[in-house]
């Protein structure tokens, strides 16, 4: 799940880079979509982390001893 969240964040970064570099696709819509994706991913990760702290058994991404 952590890898998926990082992938979403990097996808948002690629959208922002594309918006900054390629003049034909520049626009406020693409920028707002990337920022929304980034904030949504961060909120999803935060809620997942808080939920893993309250459970009986830590999830795989929280347990550092898990292999």
Q: What is the pTM of this model?
A: 0.70
With the CA atoms of 1, 52, 9 and 27 taken in that order, what torsion angle do they form, in degrees rounded to the nearest 10? Answer: 120
Is the predicted pLDDT of residue 18 greater than 90, yes or no?
A: yes
**Please, are residues 31 and 18 in contact by the beta-carbon 8 Å criterion?**
no
First and final C-alpha spacing in the chain = 15
Per-residue pLDDT of 25-66, as tens digits, reads 889 999 999 999 999 999 998 988 887 777 656 555 555 565
């Amino acid at each position: 799940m952590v890898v998926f969240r990082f992938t979403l964040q990097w996808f948002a970064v690629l959208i922002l880079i594309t918006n900054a570099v390629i003049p034909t696709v520049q626009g406020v819509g693409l920028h707002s979509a990337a920022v929304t994706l980034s904030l949504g991913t961060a909120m999803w990760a935060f809620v997942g982390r808080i939920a893993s702290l309250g459970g009986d058994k830590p999830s795989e991404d929280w347990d550092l001893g898990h292999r």
